[in-house]
């Protein structure tokens, strides 16, 4: 969970119990920390720039124009366009357990500059351009985005003569990582009809349908009609991870699902997910889930026994 610096809590003025706002403004962005210390419903909030909202503590229920209501929890973020009206409920906020959220408003000019940089230096499949991200994009922060947001909180709230430069560089990385996270969601969303003329979409679908088999990068590059080096570069540009990391991520997702079946052995699971050895499977699984497959299955059995 992201932490607010001690000097923030010491120096900010708490004037309102509902959505008390502390703001820091720079050339290309502004950071707003909102704190709510009592239960409330239908609180309205709006920004005149695109905004990244990220939960720090507590729980909100968000009501947006284009989505049904949904829970907004620590470790999650939400991308909203300029002038999007949010309607927010605070079902659990208390004086002793406040709800805290950050909102990072980023100028459209800065976002455009980052997109221009990406289109010049980070090519996508089929020569498509990077465009504005899907707004109302709700996602769980990965470790990269988490670390950037934590660093930005520190930079905005400290008194350093070069912090404008520091923040500007961090904003560029933040926008790039969010764009890549959005691309991964688009390519991994089973409800999305993948375009038949998208080479990368075809490759991602092939990976997901053939996790039980060896998937050499050379084969994937052939299916994408690219050289190995160009395929690797384009894939990493667009999805923010290497093809091998993406394959392993998809295999671990499948493994987690299969391990729910207590009749399956760990050996059956890793073979069905395309891992060649138990030791490699254990290492990849633990690096992503912070627990071994065997321990994960044991905990599931223990939970079931206690119910």
Domain co-membership, 116 together with 43: yes
pLDDT at position 197 is 53
Does 138 share its domain with 258? Answer: no
Residues 23 and 121 in one domain: yes
Contacts of 85 (CB under 8 A, 6+ apart): 44, 45, 46, 65
Question: Do 61 and 113 belong to one domain?
Answer: yes
| Cα–Cα distance for residue pair 78/156, rounded to 1 Å | 20
The pLDDT assigned to 273 comes to: 96
The reply to whether 111 and 247 lie within a common domain is no
pLDDT at position 307: 54
Q: Examine the fold and report which residue of 163, 185, 207 is the final residue of a domain before the chain moves on.
A: 185
133 is written with which tokens?
Answer: 């991200």
CATH number, domain at 69? Answer: 2.60.120.280
State the pLDDT at residue 192: 47
CA–CA separation, 205 vs 154, rounded Å?
A: 40
Question: Which domain-ending residue is among 185, 204, 231?
Answer: 185
Q: Smallest Cα–Cα separation from 190: which of 209, 177, 210?
A: 209
Q: What's residue 191's pLDDT?
A: 38
Asked whether residue 134 is domain-assigned, the answer is: yes
Same structural domain, 227 and 276: yes
What whole-number distance in Å separates Cα of residue 225 and Cα of residue 81? 36
Is 143 in the same domain as 111?
yes
16 and 144 share one domain = yes
Examine the domain organization and report whether 157 and 218 are in the same domain: no
- Does a structural domain hold residue 269? yes
Whole-structure pTM value? 0.81
Do 174 and 199 share a structural domain? no
Choose the final residue of a domain: 166, 185, 204: 185
What pLDDT is recorded for position 67?
Answer: 64
Q: Is residue 1 part of a domain?
A: no
* 152 & 228 share domain: no
Q: Name residues of the chain where pLDDT drops below 70.
A: 66-67, 133-134, 188-197, 307
Pairing, β 99-106 against β 67-72: unpaired
Total of domains in the chain: 2
Structural domain boundaries, residue 138: 6-185
In a domain? residue 25: yes
Q: How far is CA 269 from the centre of its chain?
A: 27
Which CATH number goes with the domain that contains 298?
1.10.10.60
Same domain, 121 and 25: yes
Residue 152 Cα to chain centre, angstroms: 16
């Amino acid at each position: 969970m992201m932490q607010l610096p001690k000097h923030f809590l010491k120096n900010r003025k708490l004037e309102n119990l509902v959505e008390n706002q502390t703001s820091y403004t720079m050339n290309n962005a502004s950071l707003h920390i909102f704190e709510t210390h009592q239960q409330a419903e239908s609180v309205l909030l709006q920004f005149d720039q695109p905004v990244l909202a990220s939960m720090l503590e507590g729980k909100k229920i968000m009501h947006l124009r284009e989505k049904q209501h949904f829970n907004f929890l620590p470790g999650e973020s939400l991308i909203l366009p300029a002038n999007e009206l949010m309607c927010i409920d605070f079902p659990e906020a208390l004086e002793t357990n406040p709800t805290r959220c950050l909102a990072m408003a980023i100028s459209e000019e800065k976002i455009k500059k980052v997109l221009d940089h990406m289109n010049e230096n980070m090519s996508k499949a089929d020569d498509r351009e990077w465009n504005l991200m899907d707004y109302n994009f709700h996602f769980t922060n990965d470790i990269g985005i988490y670390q950037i947001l934590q660093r930005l909180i520190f930079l905005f709230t400290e008194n350093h003569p070069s912090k404008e430069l520091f923040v500007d560089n961090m904003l560029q990385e933040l926008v790039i990582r969010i764009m890549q996270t959005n691309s991964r969601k688009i390519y991994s969303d089973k409800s999305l009809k993948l375009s038949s003329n998208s080479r990368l979409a075809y490759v991602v679908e092939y990976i997901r349908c053939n996790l039980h088999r060896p998937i050499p990068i050379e084969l994937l590059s052939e299916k994408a009609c690219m050289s190995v080096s160009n395929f690797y570069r384009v894939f990493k540009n667009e999805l923010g991870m290497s093809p091998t990391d993406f394959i392993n991520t998809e295999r671990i997702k499948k493994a987690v699902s299969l391990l729910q079946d207590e009749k399956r052995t760990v050996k059956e699971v890793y073979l069905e997910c395309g891992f060649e050895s138990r030791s490699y499977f254990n290492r990849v699984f633990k690096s992503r889930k912070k627990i071994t497959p065997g321990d994960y299955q044991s905990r599931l059995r223990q939970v079931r026994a206690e119910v």
